[in-house]
Amino acid sequence: MDILTLGNDLLHEKATPVDNIKKDSARWIKISQEMFNAVAQGNGVGLAGPQIGLMQRIFVVNIEGDVPRVFINPSIIETSQETSKYEEGCLSVPGIWANVVRPKTVKVQAWNEKGRAFTIEASGLLARVILHEYDHLEGVLFIDRLSEPKRKKMLDKINKQAKK
């Protein structure tokens, strides 16, 4: 499974909702399994559809100490006013890490790969990864959440790496 990297326009496009998850569950089970494999291979913690050129609203999260989770058609119901800052990376922006400010907690409603609806209230790393992956469905990368000077500095760094 090839992961798209910065420079690919699909990473800046909005993904579309999935229809009939239950009816196509065999497909979504297979896709989510492949996405978990790609996460493991890249030593990541999550992956969203657009990162593999799948422009549909699905992402997977697999962080240590938690069960692997699939989110299809997620909606963010609530985020905390309180924020936290933490260093993030992304399989689509290899070699770059930066501190990103995000809400500390998030409440999300979604469906899993079998078409079962669920709601989760997350905090800590799980909340952060959910918000990062959700951003991918909106065509937003973590570097887009940095201040303009910082973002520019990161892009310069990426361009320099690409020239090597």
Catalytic residues: 133
d(CA 49, CA 113): 13
Among positions 79-108, residues that touch Ni ion (CB under 5 A) are 90
Among positions 135-164, residues that touch Ni ion (CB under 5 A) are none
Q: Does 129 bind Ni ion (CB under 5 A)?
A: no
Least distance CB 60 / Ni ion (angstroms) = 11
Pick 111 or 145: Cβ nearer Ni ion = 145
d(CA 155, CA 105): 29
Residue nearest to Ni ion (CB): 90
Pick 76 or 114: Cβ nearer Ni ion = 76
Least distance CB 52 / Ni ion (angstroms) = 11
Least distance CB 131 / Ni ion (angstroms) = 11
Pick 38 or 90: Cβ nearer Ni ion = 90
Residues that bind Ni ion (CB under 5 A): 90
